[in-house]
Amino acid sequence: MKNEFAPRTLHVAAFAQSGGSHMGEERLARFERLMEEARGLGGETWVSYSVGGEIRQDAAGKDEPWLNLKAHTCLALECQRCMGPVDVLVEFDRSFRFVATEDLAAVEDEESEEDVLVLSKTFNLLELIEDELLMAMPLSPMHDACPQPVKMQVADAGFEDLMDEKPNPFAVLQKLKDKGLG
């Protein structure tokens, strides 16, 4: 397909010029740095994103490509109270302006409220999504109420019930004999 959306090699200028938009999903397992934060948990979780491109004119009337990008996912972060995993929704919604060179980006990023990035023909959108999600993570994630420790007595009682339900092997044997199968 000629117009297939390629998030890893996005041609930002063309995408913005055509006023393109796209919604996509990737497994968390594909984001190495996010997986590290989640200590390997939840690789099957989806990272959902939507991106729109547009051309805006700068103060001098010059066309500039922009991306409006938002994404969200759920990360199993380490609770700072009980050290257990706590599911946290992490999301962002930002706009990015693209300029021709690295130098220009550095200068303009200082002066602008929006984020300024360098235009390239093969821009990795997923890397930007990962960068932004990492920055959007809470500094000290915590359960609203940490889970109670497992009560062993309850677990033991359940185990005994299970044993009671298990058929007596001799009774089973007797049944087979009664049917003439023993």
Which residue, 53 or 141, has its beta carbon nearer to Zn ion?
141
Torsion angle in degrees (nearest 10) through CA of 125, 131, 136, 141? 130
Which residue, 27 or 143, has its beta carbon nearer to Zn ion?
143
Which residue, 83 or 155, has its beta carbon nearer to Zn ion?
83
Q: List contacts with Zn ion (CB under 5 A).
A: 79, 81-82, 143, 146
Least distance (Å) between residue 82 CB and Zn ion? 3
Least distance (Å) between residue 149 CB and Zn ion? 11
**What residues have CB less than 8 Å from 140, skipping those under 6 apart?**
80
User: What is d(CA 61, CA 100) in angstroms, rounded to the nearest whole number?
Assistant: 16
CB atoms within 10 A of CB 44: 8
Which residue, 29 or 82, has its beta carbon nearer to Zn ion?
82
User: What is d(CA 52, CA 34) in angstroms, rounded to the nearest whole number?
Assistant: 23
Length of the chain in residues, anyone? Answer: 182
Least distance (Å) between residue 80 CB and Zn ion? 8
Least distance (Å) between residue 88 CB and Zn ion? 11
